Structure 1
Amino acid sequence: MRCQSEDLLAPGYTTIKIIMEKDEPLWSKIACRTLMNVVTHPFDYAKVLIQIGYEPIEPRPTTTLFGKPALGLPNIFQYVRYIKNVDGLSGCYRGLVPKLCAHTICAVAFDKSVKSIEFEDEPDSSVPIDDLEDSERDKRYVQEFFKVLIARTVGIILSHPFDVISVRMMAQFVGGETKYVTLVGSIAEIYRENGVSGFFAGIVPRLIANATTLAIVSTSTYVINKYFIQDRELRTFTSATMTFLASTVTYPFLVVSQCMAVNNCGLTAGEPPMMPIYIDWMDCWRHLSNTRQLKRGSSLLWRYYTGPQLLINGRAIVDKSRLYFKTIE
C-alpha cells in the first residue's frame, strides 16, 4: 500500500494532508494517515509551538552561511527533546486524539462530498485525459477543480473544531495549564471561553490557504502538462513540485490560522506578553508581518531568530526587554 499526500493545511502544523489515491478504499487511506500522524506527531507538536511564537530555548550567537552575525534557534529535534525533558515521552503526544479525529472527519467528508457532486455533461472519466479533445479536457479540469475545492472546504469546516482543540491542547505547554485535557471537557471549555465562534477560530485564513494552494497547483499543473511536458512519466512530478511551491506562498496564512486558534482563549500562549489580543485575523497578519514572523516554523533545521535584537561588539544579542525565554542547562 502506498500513501500519497498533498499538504494544504494542518491542524497543528501548518498543512491539512488529504490522501488522494482513488484506487484505495477509504479505510485504507485513513489507516495510512493515522499511522503517519502517530509517528510524526512530536514534530508536528513542536512546529505548532514554533508557529504560535513560543521559543523556550534562548537563541545562541552564531553566524549565517555568509558569515553574518545571527542568533540561532534550536532545530526541530532539539525542540522535541526539550518537550520530552519537560513532559516525558507521553507529553510529546498532547493533542494527538483530536488531531486524529479531525483528519478522519476531513477524509470522510471529502470522500462523500466528491462522490455526491455531479455536473451536467461530464466527460467520460474512464477516458484518459490525454485522449480527450481540448474542449473536453478543459471542461474536465474546471469540473474537477470545483469538485475538489468544494469537497475540501466541506472537510475543513466540519473538522476545524477538532483542529482548534488539538492546537489548544498543545499550546497549554507554554503556561502549564490543564484546561484542555479531554475531548468533551475541551468542547465545554471552548464554548465557555469563546462561544460557538471559538470552534472556528482561525478558519478564514485556513480556507484562503486551501483555496489558493489548490488554484495554484491545479492551474499550473494543467498548463505545464498540457503545453510543456509531453512525457507522461515526467508529468507525475509536476503536481508534487507545484504543491511545494504553492505551500511556500500560502504558508503565512497557516501561521495566522494557528495563532488565531489560541488567541484570547484563556491560555498563556494566546495572551500578552506572549501574544497580543488581535481584533481579527487581518490584525494578526499585520502584526506578524511588521515583526517578520509570518514565516516562523517554515524552516525546521536551520532556524534564526528574527525578533528584537541588539548588535554589541559585532555579536547579535536578544533584546529581552520585550520577550521572555526559559533558560535551560
Structure 2
Amino acid sequence: MTPTPPPAFDSPRFIRLARPGGLEVTFMDWGATWLSCRVPVPGEAPREVLIGHPAPEDHGSRGGYLGATVGRYANRIANAQLQRDGATHTLAPHPAGSRHQLHGGPDGFSHRRWQVTQQSDTAVTFSLDSPAGDQGFPGALHLDVTYTLTDAMAMSMEIRATVDAPCPVAPTQHAYFNLDAQPGSVLGHTLQLAAGQYLPVDAELLPVDGPHTVAGTAFDFRAGRAIGSDYDHGWLLDAGAPVAAVLTSADGKLSMTLITSMPALQVYTGGHLGGEPGRDGQPKVRNAGVAMEPGWLADSPNHAEWEQRSCWLEAGETVREQMGWRWTTLL
C-alpha cells in the first residue's frame, strides 16, 4: 500500500481561548490540534507547557502527533486486524513498513481538517464524520470533541462519538508536556500514576501478555518519582481513582493533574523527538516532552479477556468520554 502523503496545511483556522489572569490556549482545525498552552506562574512570564513545531503548518509533514486529536483508535492494533464474532476487519497499516496500525492509520483523524461547529471565548467544538471503511474501520462514525476552559487554571476535553456498526472507538489528545520554564529533557519531572498494573510489550510495542502488577518493577509510579528513563507503555488505571496522573516540573514550581473517564493511560517520554526543530527553531533534545494519552491499552479491541471496560461501541450507541488537565503553582 502506498502511504498517504501528509496534507497540505493550507490556511489553517486558529482558535484562541483564554480566562482573565489564567490559561491561554490555542487550537488549529487541522487535526483539531492543541498548539499552545500558556500557564501563568507568579513572578515570571507565562510558561508554555506544550512542545511544538516552529510553525503550525509543520504539523502536516513532521512526526510525533504533537497536540493532535488522534483516532479512530489511538494506540496500536496488532497485525492491523480487528477480530470479533468470527469476522475479521483488515485495517490500513501504519506507519510505513509496519504490519500493525498505529493511531488510526496513515490518514487518521490527526491528519484531517475538522469542522469548528461551536465556539465561544472559553470553549470550542470540533466535529468530524468518518465513513464506513475509513482506514479499514467498520461503520460510519460521527465525532464531536469539545475543549473547555473550566476555570482559570483548568481545561477539559469531552469526546462524543456515535457509530452505525460495531467498532472500537478510542480517540485521544496527543499533547506533549514540558512544565519547566526552559526547554530540555522531561526525565527530571516527577510523575505519579494511579495505576497498579501495566502492559508488558515487545520490541514492536505490542502486548506479550495481559496486564501485570507494577509492584517491584520500574513501572511503579504509585508513590511518585522522577521519570528517569524512556517509556512508551500503557498503564491500567485503578478503578474509581479520582486522579489518573500528576506531573511536576523538575524545578518544583508547577504541577499538572490529569483526570479521565477512560480506563488506561499511555505514557510516552519522547525518546524519538531529539533533533527535530522546536518552537524556537532550535533542535529539540531527546525526551523533550512527555505524552500522557488517556484511552485503552494497546491492541485492546482484540482482548476482551482483559479486565477493563470494552472499547467497542455498538451500532447506534453514543459514548461520552472525558479528560481534563489542571495546573497548580507550587511556590
Please indicate, yes or no, whether the TM-score normalized by the shorter chain is above 0.5: no
TM-score when normalising by structure 2: 0.24
TM-score when normalising by structure 1: 0.24
